[in-house]
Amino acid sequence: MARSSATRLLSSIRSKTNTIVLLIDGGAIPPCAGGRRGMSTAARAKEDKEAWWKESLERMRNIGISAHIDSGKTTLTERVLFYTGRIHEIHEVRGRDGVGAKMDSMDLEREKGITIQSAATYCTWNGYQINIIDTPGHVDFTIEVERALRVLDGAILVLCSVGGVQSQSITVDRQMRRYEVPRLAFINKLDRMGADPWKVLNQARSKLRHHSAAVQIPIGLEEDFQGLVDLVQLKAYYFHGANGENVVAFDIPSNLEASAVEKRRELIEVVSEVDDQLAEIFLNDEPISPRDLKMAIRRTTIARKFVPVYMGSAFKNKGVQPLLDGVLDYLPCPTEVENHALDQNNSEERVLLSGTPAGPLVALAFKLEEGRFGQLTYLRIYEGVIKKGEYIVNINTGKKIKVPRLVRMHSNEMEDIQEAHAGQIVAVFGVDCASGDTFTDGSVRYTMTSMNVPEPVMSLAVSPVSKDSGGQFSKALNRFTKEDPTFRVGLDAESGQTIISGMGELHLDIYVERIRREYKVDAKVGKPRVNFRETVTQRAEFDYLHKKQSGGQGQYGRVCGYVEPLPIGSATKFEFENMIIGQAIPSNFIPAIEKGFKEASNSGSLCFTCCRFQ
């Protein structure tokens, strides 16, 4: 058949049916061998399952909320849970209403009004699942921030509009850089006296070296704070209702139009500096649509080249819903973040994980907690699927463990689930492990890189008031050291004191209080005793005569010798040399004499570093 005839035949067939026919030298081959119709049932099921996984992962966000103490992290999380329907009432952080914030489940947290332990939860917003970890702001609990950021894909850095960039803000931002976490900034408390978001934005640029710009401007400040202008969509948003749950969009107020145009241009310029696609549109003076700007912000935020700045007042219920939209629009899903494991079978070679449920199971235990039903282990699943009742392998110990119970956490509440896949944060009961252990299904020997653990900076001596409570006291210390890598316990061999070490005074005070409340053990706390050290600086001779008459034969002895310092850099701290000639003193007494000198050098009023006895 001529090719022209084949072409006419193909056109005729296309006009009558949707079936595509391939013509090769006049022969027709039906397409079902290469299309979906020709797939086996198993192949089609696999493709459908992968499509579901892909969509599920694209609609997932793992974020943390971090900031300096008292910047409003827990208040912000409380509003997020309320607007997403996870809780039905808003409560105060300090628990004055007798309930307290959902994420502060410990009594100590509600009494002191601070977050002590990071808490995990999850919620749904506009069809997306958001896993949230609320972290402490106090520097004493910095390990909670470290291990949360180690497993998260994105973060919200909360800044106070009055306090600005504070000391812990710098520390938290450094931790985000260490773990390469993309982030949004949220300038909170615009309703407070002295609020100045533009001052805070400039501080973020100078102190934190953020390449950032505002994506919103406030409508009023302090007691006149009413709403926000979205610079991407060029709309004004107001928050109506008893708890600000109704977001109403209006045109930009006339008095803010010039400011909105100026700030939007600034936003475009800042993003264009780090995004070539937007820069090309901007330099060609072409109109920039909201979609173009949104996509550019997303690309640069995920690449950690840009930090979008949101504004609002969590306490006054303003600005939280647009921030949630920003989490969906600009922070990455699990498959958009690169995670690497170390292959223990191949000299710890770095392996890029796919981040999908299709691969072998790889999960990291990043947090331990002693719960009502035993040890609760928080897992971030990087690849594969974990199921209740199946066996997993702890690569660090080599132990094979059955998963007895699998749950999703909502602060201190648990929801039992049958399985979890890559990208999720879950918890398991009854799995004996340490913080930082890696679990797989046994088909691979991968380990995840460990998190940074700072060294303790402060120590206290503790002991139980009652000797009968020593067992509970030891149990409490063992539990806390397992949960918190920055909490160390040791026994001073010289003083016999139990020494606890941590990140600060508040850190240790909290643990002493927890020992009293959770284990009913009163503990005495004091400063560790320090043994004073002395040494010999020059040679000194001694000649001591011992005479004691207590009836009977009595005691008599004479000791002569000298002490002198050892050479600088000597490998030993003590040398004993026997220079006695003959059997003036029986040889079986010499070891006891040497032992006495050693004891005196450690605990006596004088420290003997070297003694030559004659």
Is there a binding annotation on residue 73?
yes
Tell me the pLDDT band of 228, cut-offs 50, 70 and 90.
very high
- pLDDT higher than threshold 80 for residue 600: no
Task: Check the CA dihedral 103-106-107-113 and report its sign.
Answer: negative
Q: 159 - beta bridge partners?
A: 187
273: which 2 tokens? 């500096």
Distance CA 45, CA 28 (A): 29
Question: What is residue 156's predicted lDDT score, i.e. its pLDDT?
Answer: 94
β-pairing, 154-160 vs 488-491, is: unpaired
176 with 184: CB under 8 angstroms?
no
User: Over the Cα atoms of the chain, what is R_g?
Assistant: 34
536 with 563: CB under 8 angstroms?
yes
Question: What is residue 613's predicted lDDT score, i.e. its pLDDT?
Answer: 44
131 with 94: CB under 8 angstroms?
no
Is there a binding annotation on residue 71?
yes
Task: Give the residue, 389 or 534, on which the prediction is more confident.
Answer: 389
In the numeric block, the tokens 């800044």 are attached to: 159
214: which 2 tokens? 């505002």
128 with 331: CB under 8 angstroms?
no
Is there a binding annotation on residue 190?
yes
Question: What is residue 100's predicted lDDT score, i.e. its pLDDT?
Answer: 60
Per-residue pLDDT tens for 515-535?
A: 888 888 888 888 887 777 777
State the SS3 of 135-204. CCCCHHHHHHHHHHHHHCCEEEEEEECCCECCHHHHHHHHHHHHCCCCEEEEEECCCCCCCCHHHHHHHH
Sheet holding 340-343, edge to edge: 349-352, 340-343, 446-448
Is there a binding annotation on residue 72?
yes
Distance CA 141, CA 135 (A): 9
Q: 405 - beta bridge partners?
A: 429
Task: Give the residue, 95 or 68, on which the prediction is more confident.
Answer: 68
Question: What is residue 8's predicted lDDT score, i.e. its pLDDT?
Answer: 43
Distance CA 108, CA 19 (A): 70
CA-to-CA separations, 334 to 30, 120, 526, 552, 600, in angstroms, rounded: 40, 17, 47, 89, 63
CA nearest neighbour of 441 among 405, 395, 397: 395
Is there a binding annotation on residue 220?
no
Question: What is residue 31's predicted lDDT score, i.e. its pLDDT?
Answer: 39
In this structure, the chain runs to a length of 614
409 with 427: CB under 8 angstroms?
yes
Question: What is residue 184's predicted lDDT score, i.e. its pLDDT?
Answer: 94
CA nearest neighbour of 255 among 236, 273, 240, 241: 236
Question: What is residue 121's predicted lDDT score, i.e. its pLDDT?
Answer: 87
Q: In the chain, how many H helices and how many E strands?
A: 14, 34
- pLDDT higher than threshold 80 for residue 115: no
In the numeric block, the tokens 């039903």 are attached to: 373
Amino acid identity at 119 = A
Is there a binding annotation on residue 74?
yes
Question: What is residue 105's predicted lDDT score, i.e. its pLDDT?
Answer: 60
Distance CA 292, CA 282 (A): 11
Distance CA 285, CA 287 (A): 7
Among the ranges given (39-48, 281-290, 368-377), the one the predictor scored with the smallest mean pLDDT: 39-48
Query: CA geometry: angle at 475 spanning 135 and 100, to 5°?
Result: 35
Full-model pTM = 0.77
Tell me the pLDDT band of 430, cut-offs 50, 70 and 90.
confident
Per-residue pLDDT tens for 268-301?
A: 999 999 999 999 998 988 889 999 999 999 999 9
- pLDDT higher than threshold 90 for residue 434: no
Is there a binding annotation on residue 135?
yes
Is there a binding annotation on residue 68?
yes
Distance CA 217, CA 197 (A): 9
Is there a binding annotation on residue 191?
yes
Distance CA 282, CA 305 (A): 18
CA nearest neighbour of 366 among 444, 438, 419: 438
Is there a binding annotation on residue 137?
yes
**Interior/surface letters 158-174, b for 16+ CB within 10 angstroms, e for the rest:** bbbbbbbbbebbebbbe
CA nearest neighbour of 380 among 451, 454, 303, 439: 439
- pLDDT higher than threshold 60 for residue 568: yes
In the numeric block, the tokens 């691969």 are attached to: 359
Distance CA 363, CA 384 (A): 8
Distance CA 458, CA 512 (A): 14
154 with 327: CB under 8 angstroms?
yes
Task: Give the residue, 414 or 273, on which the prediction is more confident.
Answer: 273
Question: What is residue 436's predicted lDDT score, i.e. its pLDDT?
Answer: 84
